[in-house]
Amino acid sequence: MDAIDVRQIVKSFGDFTAVKGISFTVGEGEIFGLLGPNGAGKSTLIRMLVTLLPPTAGTALVGGFDIVTHQDQVRRLIGVIPQAMTSDTELSVEENLLIFAKLYGVPREKRKRLIDDLLAAVELTQWRDKQVRQLSGGMRRRVEIARGLVHEPKIFFLDEPTTGLDPVSRVAVWEMLRKIKAERDLTILITTHYMDEADKLCDRIAIVDHGELKALDTPGRLKAAIPGKNVLEASFAPVPEGWTATLQALPSVEGVTPHDNIFRIASGNGPATTMALMSAAAQANVTVQSLSVQSTTLDDVFVHYTGRALRDALHDAPRLDISHMRR
């Protein structure tokens, strides 16, 4: 049985459709990533799966239970880390976990052992009596991860758990998740807009944009599926007439996308294309202002499927107002 089975799920807020009929399944024990810019519908999707929002149409099975008709059973099975930092800053680390253990009805005799184990897992044992307000953002996130696991859920939902954290804390959160995952029988669904995070952490990735599922596969296959093994990014001065066509004609080139002054060149053989590009530029009396050669990344995958770079999409997409969603 699949841990999560999403079936043609739709969510509209008035005239605006945030999620436009998405379907996918997540296998048991998988780390599944939902990747997309802000406003892509990731949070709305995850909120429906964790029973915070009722879907407008369609449904999903989580742990075999329908999120519309069997909300209570779903809630017992899942652990959730909402996007906002929702740990209670006035309470201590341990009190935060204790309150949630009680909310989930964890029996008294199990509580202490579970909390001890979790605090050790997120490396907060020595901070257990500190008020959460005294902790850094990364530590607070770890408190929330521990809190979400306090009732030993089978399926763990994390909505952008590393947004707003510094790079070191982000890596610490990934490590923690990987370790926790290794020690327990857990399926993880995580949303993120960080490509590297999705690449390193996830078994499979779904790319979501404008409320639609654009692609779904393992990070490796997603990268392999798009043209070229390498991507060259270069800028030139001056840019002669028909330059795009010239670049297109270089050896091993599989595609050229001009973007302002920068040309993204997908290539099956990075070094060969680079050599040819340099000599073509010299012949045409064009200065190469900048040149970089990279292996294909998820960024390129994203550009391929959505037609724009994720960093642009991050700026384009209006940040969804949460209060608007609550109404």
Partner 1 sequence: MYRTWAIIERELRRFRRSPTLIVISLLFPIVQLVILGYAFGGNVRHLTLAVVDRDRGVPAVKLKELAGSIAANAGTFEMIPYADEGAAILALRNGRVNGVLTIPPDYSRRVLSHAAPRVALIEDNTDNFVAASMGATLNGMIGAANQPAVTSQRMPGQVTLDVVEIYPYVPYIQYLLPGSVVMSIFMMVMIGGGIIFIDDKARGLHEGYLVTPITKFELIAGFVLSGAIKAVLAGFVLMTIGSVIAGIPHPFDPLRLLRMLAVIVMTALALISMMFLLMVRVTDPLVPRAIFGVLNTLLYFPSGAVYPQQGFPGWMRVIAVADPFTYAVHAFKSLLLKNTGFAAIGGDLAYLSIFTLIAMTAAVRLFRRTL
Nearer to partner 1, 19 or 301 (CB): 19
CB 296 within 8 A of CB 253: no
Q: Which two three-digit tokens encode residue 271?
A: 């070094």
CB 221 within 8 A of CB 215: no
How far apart CA 293 and CA 315 sit, in angstroms, is 25
Of 19-27, 76-84, 190-198, 211-219, the window that binds partner 1 (rule: CB under 8 A) is 76-84
Nearer to partner 1, 102 or 221 (CB): 102
Q: Which two three-digit tokens encode residue 310?
A: 């994720």
Written in H, E and C, the secondary structure of 62-112 is ECCEECCCCHHHHHHHEEEECCCCCCCCCCEHHHHHHHHHHHCCCCHHHHH
Q: What residue type is assigned to position 286 of the chain?
A: V
Contact set for partner 1, span 236-265 (CB under 8 A): none
Nearer to partner 1, 72 or 185 (CB): 72
**Is 97 one of the binding residues for partner 1 (CB under 8 A)?**
no
Among 84, 224, 225, 284, binds partner 1 (CB under 8 A): 84
3-state secondary structure of 58: strand
Neighbours of 133 (CB within 10 A): 12
Among 6, 24, 37, 51, binds partner 1 (CB under 8 A): 51
Shortest distance (Å) from residue 295 CB to partner 1: 38
**Is 70 one of the binding residues for partner 1 (CB under 8 A)?**
no
Report DSSP state, residue 163: T
In angstroms, the first-to-last Cα distance of the chain is 35
Of 27-35, 69-77, 196-204, 292-300, the window that binds partner 1 (rule: CB under 8 A) is 69-77
142-161 footprint of partner 1 as x/- string (CB under 8 A): -----x--------------
Of 102-110, 113-121, 134-142, 168-176, the window that binds partner 1 (rule: CB under 8 A) is 102-110
Nearer to partner 1, 85 or 262 (CB): 85
8-47 footprint of partner 1 as x/- string (CB under 8 A): ---------------------------------------x
- DSSP state letters, 239-285: --TTHHHHHHTSTTEEEEEEETTEEEEEESSHHHHHHHHHHHHHHTT
Q: What residue type is assigned to position 181 of the chain?
A: K
Nearer to partner 1, 84 or 120 (CB): 84
Neighbours of 279 (CB within 10 A): 10
Of 14-22, 79-87, 167-175, 260-268, the window that binds partner 1 (rule: CB under 8 A) is 79-87
How far apart CA 263 and CA 244 sit, in angstroms, is 8
Of 246-254, 264-272, 280-288, 319-327, the window that binds partner 1 (rule: CB under 8 A) is 319-327
**Is 326 one of the binding residues for partner 1 (CB under 8 A)?**
yes
**Is 54 one of the binding residues for partner 1 (CB under 8 A)?**
yes
Q: Which two three-digit tokens encode residue 256?
A: 């050229």
Among 1, 14, 69, 72, binds partner 1 (CB under 8 A): 72
**Is 69 one of the binding residues for partner 1 (CB under 8 A)?**
no
313: nearest Cα among 36, 16, 46: 36
The footprint of partner 1 (CB under 8 A) covers 47, 50-54, 72, 75-76, 78, 80, 82-88, 100, 103-105, 147, 322-323, 325-327
